[in-house]
Amino acid sequence: MIKAILSMLAACMSAMVGPALAQQYPSKPVRVVVSTVPGPLDAYARIISEKIASSLKQQFFVDNRPGAGGNIASEIVAKSQPDGQTVLFSLDTTFTVNPSLYKKLPFDAAKDFYPIAVPVTYGQLLAVHPSIPVKSVTELVALAKRQKLNYASGGNGSPSHLTCAYFLSTARIDMSHIPYKGTGQSIIDVIAGQVSTIFAVTTGVLPHVQAGKLRALGLSTPKRSPLAPEVPTIAESGYPGFDASFAYALMAPAGTSDEIVQLLSKEVLKAMAAPDVQEKNRIADYAATDLDYKRSAAWLKENRDRWAGVIQRAGIVIE
């Protein structure tokens, strides 16, 4: 009887501590470690952080720690105290791609983090130089079966590389990979006709398509882009289920309390409803999600499994 009473009291105390902890948090400025240099991810981390800071009445400051495909920033956060005072804003590839891409990581992508949110996803647009005599994905596949083509990417293991490797495997064709140190130069060389084709973020390719310097064939996402509604998806073009979506992810160290994670997850969803954030999404061609912390974890796992298969079939490895 005494044990039962003590057990009930412990449960009550635990239930009281959780909400109290959430009410106290954050008691000091929160460090948001961003895994890239200033750029698209950094800009998004800042606008979301500002919204959360305003709501929670506490500073959220960005600390850029780029390098090693997001592994440097992730290791810092993985080894931080799980008190919600240090969180990670990263490309999803750190958790969906890197576990298969790198022979060794300084953290366990599945066990050392507690997903808070996957606020947006985005895709890649498949484009060719106008001299390539194709006007659809179907025609490109047919041409690739008759003659040798090549494709540019932003580097080994980059989203552009992975998307094309996934597409080639799905379509059962082959092209020579020409990796670059960044997407910018790779697009320039496709425009110059030095490389046949490329997958790259819509906003990086679309202006050149509109200028007639490139021809758009398809999108890697499940749905068409509002910026280019006339361009079909790869899935619509004869490959049902094709989905090479990437995302941004907000993560906490494993061991962070459920209450803090749930609070931050709710704050991200609230921030996504702000008009300026919605406009940012439109301009950048981001697809907003409504994924809470539980569904964000499921999204990351599903895509980690997907890319593991792609990477294994393509034989992509980074030492």
Beta strand residue intervals within the chain, DSSP E? 30-34, 60-64, 86-91, 113-117, 120-122, 124-128, 150-153, 176-179, 197-201, 215-219, 246-253, 287-288
Query: Is 0.75 topped by the overall pTM?
Result: yes
If asked whether residues 139 and 158 sit together in one domain, one would say: yes
Number of domains in the chain: 2
If asked whether residues 115 and 128 sit together in one domain, one would say: no
If asked whether residues 182 and 36 sit together in one domain, one would say: no
Name which of 55, 295, 49, 306 is nearest 165 in CA terms. Answer: 306
- Which CATH number is 93's domain given? 3.40.190.150
Asked if the model's pLDDT at residue 22 lies above 80, the reply is no
Amino acid at 80: S
Domain boundary among 203, 219, 235: 219
Domain boundary among 202, 219, 236: 219
How far apart CA 268 and CA 264 sit, in angstroms, is 6
Q: Residue 222 gets which letter from DSSP?
A: S
How far apart CA 66 and CA 41 sit, in angstroms, is 11
Tell whether 150 is covered by a domain: yes
Tell whether 101 is covered by a domain: yes
Domain extent, residue 33, equals 24-122+246-314
pLDDT, mean of residues 239-256: 97
Q: State the pLDDT at residue 273.
A: 96
Kindly report, residue by residue over 83-117, the tens digit of the pLDDT.
999 999 999 999 999 999 998 999 999 999 999 99
Asked if the model's pLDDT at residue 36 lies above 50, the reply is yes
Sign of the four-CA dihedral 211, 216, 222, 223: positive
Chain-centroid distance of CA 138 in Å reads: 28
Kindly report, residue by residue over 165-202, the tens digit of the pLDDT.
999 999 999 999 999 988 899 999 999 999 999 999 99
Asked if the model's pLDDT at residue 7 lies above 60, the reply is no
Q: State the pLDDT at residue 120.
A: 98
If asked whether residues 52 and 80 sit together in one domain, one would say: yes
Long-range CB pairs of 54-60, under 8 A, 24+ apart, other chains included: 55/267, 55/270, 55/271, 56/25, 56/26, 56/267, 58/26, 58/27, 58/28, 58/29, 58/30, 59/29, 59/30, 60/29, 60/30, 60/32
Residue with tokens 């539980």: 294
How far apart CA 270 and CA 154 sit, in angstroms, is 34
How far apart CA 176 and CA 157 sit, in angstroms, is 15
Beta strand residue intervals within 169-317, DSSP E? 176-179, 197-201, 215-219, 246-253, 287-288
Phi and psi (nearest 5°) for 150? Answer: -130, 165
If asked whether residues 45 and 58 sit together in one domain, one would say: yes
- For the chain, helix, strand, coil in percent to 5 are 45, 20, 35
Q: State the pLDDT at residue 182.
A: 86
Q: State the pLDDT at residue 14.
A: 45
Tell whether 19 is covered by a domain: no
Q: Residue 318 gets which letter from DSSP?
A: B
Tell whether 16 is covered by a domain: no
If asked whether residues 174 and 261 sit together in one domain, one would say: no
Query: How many other C-beta atoms lie within 10 A of the C-beta of residue 214?
Result: 24
The pLDDT-based confidence of 318 (bands split at 50, 70, 90) is confident
If asked whether residues 199 and 211 sit together in one domain, one would say: yes
Report helix, strand or coil for 85: coil
pLDDT cut 90: percent of the chain above it = 88
If asked whether residues 111 and 185 sit together in one domain, one would say: no
If asked whether residues 116 and 261 sit together in one domain, one would say: yes
Q: State the pLDDT at residue 241.
A: 95
19, 30 in Cβ contact below 8 A?
no
Average pLDDT of the chain to the nearest whole number: 92
Q: Which of the two residues, 79 and 7, has the higher pLDDT score? A: 79
Residue with tokens 């440097």: 72
Name which of 125, 51, 135 is nearest 89 in CA terms. Answer: 51
Q: Which residues on neighbouring strands pair with residue 122, listed in sequence order?
A: 246
The pLDDT-based confidence of 224 (bands split at 50, 70, 90) is very high
Asked if the model's pLDDT at residue 12 lies above 50, the reply is no
Kindly report, residue by residue over 287-306, the tens digit of the pLDDT.
999 999 999 999 999 999 99
How far apart CA 259 and CA 252 sit, in angstroms, is 12
Tell whether 2 is covered by a domain: no
If asked whether residues 116 and 252 sit together in one domain, one would say: yes
Asked if the model's pLDDT at residue 11 lies above 60, the reply is no
Kindly report, residue by residue over 119-173, the tens digit of the pLDDT.
999 999 999 999 999 999 999 999 999 999 999 999 989 999 999 999 999 999 9
